[in-house]
Structure 1
Amino acid sequence: MPIGVPKVPFRSPGEEDATWVDIYNRLYRERLLFLGQEVDSEISNQLIGLMIYLSIEDDTKDLYLFINSPGGWVIPGVSLYDTMQFVQPDVQTICMGSAASMGSFILVGGEITKRLAFPHARVMIHQPAGSFSEVATGEFILEVGELLKLRETLTRVYAQRTGKPLWVVSEDMERDVFMSATEAQAYGIVDLVAAE
């Protein structure tokens, strides 16, 4: 028997009776956002829309982005990162479970001093990948060039936001680098590790 998305009661200001809404809509009202899947255009656009809406509603209260993501597509991830930098409220990022690949890029994009990892969280960085299986030679060269530009952008952002030298980040992104929460803190991806 499928359960679906749990529903919780919610009373709108000025209303006498509560209505049942799905739990995520209720949590959004508290400015709690969730990235709990692969980063793609759909989830990226949903989170961007929520961030902009909540920023317009009240630009003084922080937003909280909980991340448990295996990574995903680069362009939707970068657009989410850019929105986090654009909106007026600080975006606090919280890694629960894992933030791998583009998930770690979004994690590092939280407001500096307000990036947190749960004690058993895992973080992984690496270079962006492309799929070149059935690409013509000319397209292949263009795609490789674009991939190199994206890699340079991601490397520069990681270096700026972690305080690591560009060459260190560039070297580390050559392979998959897995980190515990405390290692991610030492690297500068998060600022705090939640107490156990």
Structure 2
Amino acid sequence: MNGWTPEEPPGRWNVPPGRPVPQPSVPPTDPGMAPWMEERMFAQRIVLLQGPVGAAAANRAAATLLTLDGLGAEPVRLHLNTPSGELSAVFAVVDAIDVMRTPVHATVIGELGGAAVGVYAAANRRLAYPHARFRLVEPASEGVNGTADEVAAAAGRYLRALEDLVVRVVQATGRPRSRVEDDFSVGRVMSAVEAHEYGLVDEIVPQR
């Protein structure tokens, strides 16, 4: 072969001498949270869901919930400060809670509204800080571009998901379905005390 050897493709183990070996980057679970805080919360079985709930936030929360479910039998504490959310994303978290063997204790630490109310309603125990606020308001429909049939199909999925959201709140509160539907239609806003009287909150976290 006249001393010829095939050139190896670039990779981890044939980095030219003098250059540092590249390390794979691991994206943070929550880009807005310091890694040390995230690790501490995970160790204490706390999951924080904050801001509008989109697909990325919902996937992170669902993955963390299911991981903690497999690591122990102690309740998982889900802290919510979510004023809105996409219906499809929110039900990814709801489905994760439904299949968990360990109980989920959800606490509203700020504002809860729109589709995110479904996550709260799915929890085994529902708590709220004294100054938490609740907004029963219909989530905005997700814009869909396409043919008339595609738009109609998307509208049908939205209405079915909205119905599932209403049913979740009915089951959690024991309120008549017509009452819950009306409250979502008018965008009812409640304090923690009012939400407790409504049946959505099981317990208000006492002040020291």
TM-score bracket, normalised by the shorter chain, equals 0.7 to 0.9
Where does residue 88 of structure 1 map in the other structure? 101
Q: For the residues of structure 2 that align with 1:133 and 1:158, how far apart are their CA atoms?
A: 27
Where does residue 68 of structure 2 map in the other structure? 54
Structure 2 matches for 1:18-167, cutoff 5 A?
21-58=35-72, 60-111=73-124, 114-132=125-143, 136-167=147-178
Q: For the residues of structure 1 that align with 2:33 and 2:175, how far apart are their CA atoms?
A: 41
Residue type at the aligned position of 2:108: C
Q: Deviations over 1:75-110 (max 9, x none)?
A: 110110121121011000000110111222211221
Q: Look up the SS of the partner of 1:89 in the other structure.
A: coil
Deviation at 1:131, TM superposition (A): 4.6
Q: Which 10-residue stretch deviates more, 139-148 or 158-167? A: 139-148
Q: Look up the SS of the partner of 1:174 in the other structure.
A: helix
Q: For the residues of structure 2 that align with 1:124 and 1:194, how far apart are their CA atoms?
A: 19
Given that 1:68 and 1:103 are in contact with CA atoms closer than 8 Å, whether structure 2 keeps it comes out as no
CA shift in 2, pair 1:48/1:133, >3 Å? closer
Q: For the residues of structure 1 that align with 2:62 and 2:113, how far apart are their CA atoms?
A: 20
Q: For the residues of structure 2 that align with 1:5 and 1:189, how far apart are their CA atoms?
A: 29
Where does residue 10 of structure 1 map in the other structure? none
Given that 2:115 and 2:138 are in contact with CA atoms closer than 8 Å, whether structure 1 keeps it comes out as no
Given that 1:128 and 1:147 are in contact with CA atoms closer than 8 Å, whether structure 2 keeps it comes out as no
Residue type at the aligned position of 1:150: A
Q: Which 10-residue stretch deviates more, 74-83 or 145-154? A: 145-154
Q: Where is the strand percentage greater, Structure 1 or Structure 2?
A: 1
Q: For the residues of structure 1 that align with 2:60 and 2:145, how far apart are their CA atoms?
A: 31
Q: For the residues of structure 2 that align with 1:74 and 1:25, how far apart are their CA atoms?
A: 29
Q: Look up the SS of the partner of 1:85 in the other structure.
A: helix
Q: For the residues of structure 2 that align with 1:187 and 1:78, how far apart are their CA atoms?
A: 23
1:176 to 139, 164, 187: 187
Given that 1:107 and 1:190 are in contact with CA atoms closer than 8 Å, whether structure 2 keeps it comes out as no
Q: Deviations over 1:43-100 (max 9, x none)?
A: 1111111111111111x20000000112111111011012112101100000011011
Q: RMSD over aligned Cα, in angstroms?
A: 1.8
Taking structure 1 as the reference length, what is the TM-score of the superposition? Answer: 0.83
Residue type at the aligned position of 2:127: L
Long gaps (5+) in structure 2: 1-31
Largest Rg, 1 or 2: 2
Quick one: percent identity of the two aligned structures? 24
CA shift in 2, pair 1:181/1:139, >3 Å? same
Deviation at 1:166, TM superposition (A): 1.2
Q: For the residues of structure 2 that align with 1:146 and 1:185, how far apart are their CA atoms?
A: 31
Deviation at 1:149, TM superposition (A): 1.2
Long gaps (5+) in structure 1: 7-20
Q: Look up the SS of the partner of 1:189 in the other structure.
A: coil
